[in-house]
Every structure is written in C-alpha cells, then in structure tokens.
Amino acid sequence: MRVLQISNKAPYPPNDGSSIAIYNMGMGFIANGVDLHVLTVNTKKHFKPDNEIPEEYRIKSHYRSVYHDADVKMLGAVFNLFSKDSYFVSRFCFKEFEIALTEKLKNNTFDIIQIDGLFMAPYIALIKKYSKAKIALRAHNVEYLIWERHLKNETSFLKKIYLGTQTSRLKQFELEVLKEVDVIVTITDVDKAVFESLKCNKPIFTCITGLDIEAYKIKASEVVKPKTIFYFASMDWMPNQEAVNWFLQNCWPEVLKAVPDSKFVIAGRNMPESMLKLNLPNVLVIEKVADSKLFYNEHQIMLVPLLSGSGLRIKIIEGMAYSKAIVSTSIGAEGIAIEHGKNIRIADAAADFSKNVIELLNNSAVREKLENEAFAFAEKEFDNQKVVSKLVNFYNTILNA
C-alpha cells in the first residue's frame, strides 16, 4: 500500500498534540510495511528544521516540507469578512504547496491520500485532478465544535460576533468536505458519533493516536518534586489558555488554602504574555520545556481542566503512559474509554475539581494507585504499531471493496 500523508504542521519533533498524532501515525504506517510519503506545510509559527528529522523517518517517509507564514494577521482577518471563506482554513492555501503537491501526484501513484486535519481539505480538488487514490480525512477534531463550545464562554461582544461568523463558515466548509472525501478517520468514537449525527454516509473508522509505550517506561529522573500539579500544553491554542485561566480563578485558591506548600506549574510553547507576567503565590510559568520526559517525571499530578475542544487530548494519553495521576474535566477526557476513580479523576464543577486535586496531593497511596492503573491502561490500549495496523486493515478493506 502506498500512502500520501499531507498536513498543515511539520510532525518532527513531535512536541504538541497534532504533531504527535501526525508523526506517530507515520511511524505506525512504516512499521506496518506501508510505502509512506509525507508532504507538510512548515509554518513560521511552528517552524521545525528539516535537518533535525531522524534519517530513518526522513528517508522512509520520502519527507518534504514547504515553508509558509500562516500567522493570523489583523488585516487578513478583516478582509476575510468580505469573502465567503473561513479564515481558519484559507491561511493554509498557498501556491508553493500547490506546486509541491502537483509534482508529488504527477510522479507517484497512491492508493490512499490521507489529509491530516481539515485545514488541508482545500487541496482536495487538486488531488482529484491528478490522482485516483481514495481520499481519507483524518479528523483530528470536529473543528467547528471547538469554536461553538468556546463561544459559550466568550465574554467579548466583538469577538463573539467575529468568531460566530467564522465558526458558521467553518461548519459549512466542514460539512462540504465530508461529502468530498471517500472515508473519514476519527481519533475518538465521540467525534465519529458527531459526524454520524450530521448524516455523513461515508465509511468512518476510529483510530486513536498510538504511542511507543516502551519509550515511556524509561524514567528520566528519580527526583520527584513533592506537592506539584502541572498543566503542560501548547499555549497558543485558545482552549488551553481558557483551561488554565478557569483553574487559576476557580480552583487554585481553594487548593492552595488546603495544601499551602503545593505548587502549580504552567508549561508549554508559545506562552501568552499575560501568563508570563502572572505573579501568583506558588505558581510557576515555564515557556520552554527542554526535556518533556524529565518534566513529566519530575511533577506529580497532571491537570486537564478543558472547557472547550474536540477530538483527543494526546497529552492525556502521554500522561497515562508516563504513569501520571490525572484530574480532568469531561471534555478534557472526551473520547478515551477511561474510568473515573480507577485510572483518572473526572470533575466538571470547580469545587469537585479542587477536591480531587487536594485528595491526590494529600494521599500518596491513592495517587500511586491511580498512577499504576493509568500506565496499565496506556500499555493495553495505546501501542502504536497495533493501533495503526487496524487502520491499515481498514484501508485495505476500502481498496478491495
């Protein structure tokens, strides 16, 4: 099987949710004998040098990236109002990628062309012009759903108006794309159910993001900082900022009152200036984490207090693989068949969220049991080669139908 995987973010290093999802699936394809070709946009905001890519992945994936400045610009956002396109999507449409994709399609025959994320869907017409491959949309999220959820919590009137317009356009585009592709690959069954509720009649297959579980068993540090809770994510993503602010305002004062020597660490790339300037008791903000394995191993309790979003929080499955005790909202843990009280704690109300965090800070036996159950679940469910082999079998079924 020959697969072309196209994406709007360079996958290596896999240091955020979407790049982990793209890179790990690529490695899973290779491990399952797929002849893989990867063509990706390498954006200014998330730029990743080609020369840092491991040689094995670069060669076996026939890797190529195309640079593009896809940053949100005020002028572009304003002018977009006079078009019918979604500004979320149009930022990733540019001539250089069209040329690279055309060249790739003219020089190769593919069985499957997998579009990693909705934002590469504008290239479907070009794909159909030069290829007879089956087109798969790997939906990392139900994109419009993220913004619909966020709008419920947005307090700025002007932002609500603008984002309402963009969300409506995004939803319309997403619905049209569902008609244009041959198959849909969701990351969670929750997203699959959403697409089915939209009367999508295309084959849909759920393929969670897998991990190299063995790599997570190796401890980078034996020194654990006591009484530490942490939030670790890409901080340029709006739902992550919203989650941290909610916890700081509604939970942290109660946690600190109950456990005065506890510390809250906020970490992640592209930290907003407002968070870098935070001056709160026992709160530490880290913009650049040099070694994510070391960071996970050093801190005790992982928080995922998301209020909006869709798809899978890959940081949760990473956290479980690192044997972390995790407290999450229902939205944060959405799409993973975990059990509250067994391998994770789920709480939506601020008082309940705080209560769970406080208990795990104060009760090491309860915390350690949760850590062990989290890893056992990850080991059983997230092995990357096994996860991707099921998708390869699904693609073979589609090709042989």
**Identity of residue 373:** E
Query: Residue 122: is the preceding peptide bond cis (ω within 30°)?
Result: no
25 and 80 fall within a common domain: yes
In terms of Cβ atoms closer than 10 Å to its own Cβ (0-12, 13-18, 19+), residue 269 is middle
E-only strand ranges, 202-282: 204-206, 228-232, 263-267
Phi–psi pair at 225, nearest 5 degrees: -75, 115
Cα separation, 398 vs 401, whole angstroms: 5
Predicted structure pTM score: 0.81
* CATH value at residue 336: 3.40.50.2000
Q: Which domain holds residue 388?
A: 2-210+383-399
Q: What is the DSSP letter of 330?
A: T
Cα separation, 265 vs 269, whole angstroms: 14
141 and 93 fall within a common domain: yes
244 and 146 fall within a common domain: no
Q: What is the DSSP letter of 391?
A: H
Please tell me the predicted confidence (pLDDT) of residue 310: 62
Cα separation, 59 vs 50, whole angstroms: 12
9 and 62 fall within a common domain: yes
145 and 233 fall within a common domain: no
Nearest to 140 by CA among 177, 115, 170, 167: 115
Enter the tokens of residue 171. Answer: 């939803």
Enter the tokens of residue 156. Answer: 């700025």
Cα separation, 344 vs 328, whole angstroms: 8
User: What dihedral do alpha carbons 328, 334, 336, 338 form, nearest 10°?
Assistant: 40
Give the residues across from 301 on adjacent strands: 229, 325
The C-alpha R_g of the chain, in whole angstroms, comes to 21
Please tell me the total number of residues recorded for the chain in this structure. Answer: 401
183 and 82 fall within a common domain: yes
218 and 127 fall within a common domain: no
The mean pLDDT values, 10 residues at a time, for the chain of 401 residues are 97 89 96 98 93 95 95 62 68 93 98 95 96 96 75 76 80 91 94 90 94 85 88 90 96 98 95 94 94 93 88 86 96 90 97 98 97 96 95 97 86
222 and 167 fall within a common domain: no
Domain count, the chain: 2
Instruction: State the helix-helix crossing angle for 238-250 and 350-362, rounded to 10 degrees.
Output: 80
188 and 262 fall within a common domain: no
97 and 148 fall within a common domain: yes
Please tell me the predicted confidence (pLDDT) of residue 80: 62
315 and 206 fall within a common domain: no
**Sign of the CA dihedral 44, 45, 50, 56?**
negative
157 and 306 fall within a common domain: no
Cβ neighbours around 171 below 10 Å, total: 18
